[in-house]
Structure 1
Amino acid sequence: MRPKIAILLSTLATTSTIMFMPGVASATSSSAGTTTSSSSAINPSPTTNSAQNFTSAQSALETQIQDRISKLEGLSSKIASSTTLTPTDRTTLSALVGSSSTGDLGTLNATLTKVQSDTTMAELKADRTAVIPDLRVYVVVAPVVNITVTADKITYINSLITSIEPNVSTVVTDNGNSATDTTAYNQIQTNVTAITSSITNIDSELGSLTPSAFNANPTGIHSQVLSMWQSVKNDWATLKQDHQDIKTITGIA
């Protein structure tokens, strides 16, 4: 009985690290700030040499596009390295991010190549209009990938805890059904159910995080993302407590 619990606790320990999305609150404002600054960079000043202004604007736009490409490549790596993503979610997220020649990543790579060969300010402005005002990489794609990867990891760990619940119950009985152990075990059962419900709700909300929804209600979508991340963080904190309670009940370090 205890060997099985020990093995599963060891598995829990190896999967109990998680990376929460940093700077969620500033992601939208940061992206918007970038858009504003790039706009002024591309509009030529009457007192500035046009060739110098073009070179500066071209460089600024290349940097902004490359930032988005780097973000997507990082998300692609996160998807590939996750060991707890469901096959369906992995396929969905991979399609969302794209590859070097498909999806958002492919579009940005193609646009970057075009910008590098642009020769007029009009071409730069057209390319900028096509990609920079669209904040989908920062406010849609990144949150969807990060939340899904984290939610699937929580679901996986929650299932491990569910699988050893009967074994933990046996240990509680063997230990004499102490009030402390019984209370902790009952709380673990309650938490497992609550986390399952929470992740189900998060999964259903992910479908509403779309570029069109953000364009229609940027403040609302941003608030929704923050709320979803708070739910994920709360679920993670609960899992950590369950893990600790199981170790305390069973006496397995």
Structure 2
Amino acid sequence: MLIIAGLGNPGAKFAGNRHNIGFMAVDAIQRRPGFSAWSKKFKAEISEGELAGEKVLLMKPQTFMNLSGEAVGEAMRFYKLGAQNIVAIYDELDLAPAKARIKLGGGHGGHNGVKSLDAHCGRDYRRLRLGIGHPGAKELVHNYVLGDFAKVDRDWLDPLLDAIADNADMLVKNEDSQLMNKLALAVGSRADDEATKPAKPAKAAKDPKPAGQSHIRQARNVNQPKKLPESGPMAEMLKRMFSKKSED
């Protein structure tokens, strides 16, 4: 038996959040034929079905992200399973949008849902991490992950979720590298386009208003009549020069 647990926060308020991509993934799997309607058990919404000839329990913990491990751990103990029978699907800030990675074990990377899973289930479960990108600064992370995906994100998000659902049997068969290939093919061109898209050229600076020329430009403009100084040392010197010419 395999538990596939998507991580997220319960309630309509959070449904479209980047932090809820794990919920979105198991929702996509549940919509495929052979899975029961969602019901409540183990502090979670669960759906039972079968993939590749093996029983599968889909889970969406309803304990809020920070306590996700309570629900998954309860189900794991009920069915007398180990961490090796769990696949967790969740958002990853350190992966570009549309990218996916899967691994066995590892650190939590600051993800509170994963911290909770580690505490209640051990660390030796498989982790399907779905990239959502990083906002660029630590202080922006909270609002970013609890913000909804933009409309333009659907161009890669929908194909990614569909590919996870279409190839979920690979999770049961431990065909992780083949699954990554399938996901990359589903969104590869979109992900590559985003990664290689050239930055928009900066707008050309507007010419300054022709209110007047700089003193340097005035000095270079030989056609401009020069106004002689009327006082000061320069004025005295010019007077002497011109008076000599007139005497000659």
Global fold match (TM > 0.5):
no
Larger radius of gyration: 2
- TM-score for the superposition, normalised by structure 1: 0.30
Larger relative contact order (Cα-Cα within 8 Å, sequence gap ≥ 6): 1
Of Structure 1 and Structure 2, the greater strand share is in 2
- TM-score for the superposition, normalised by structure 2: 0.30
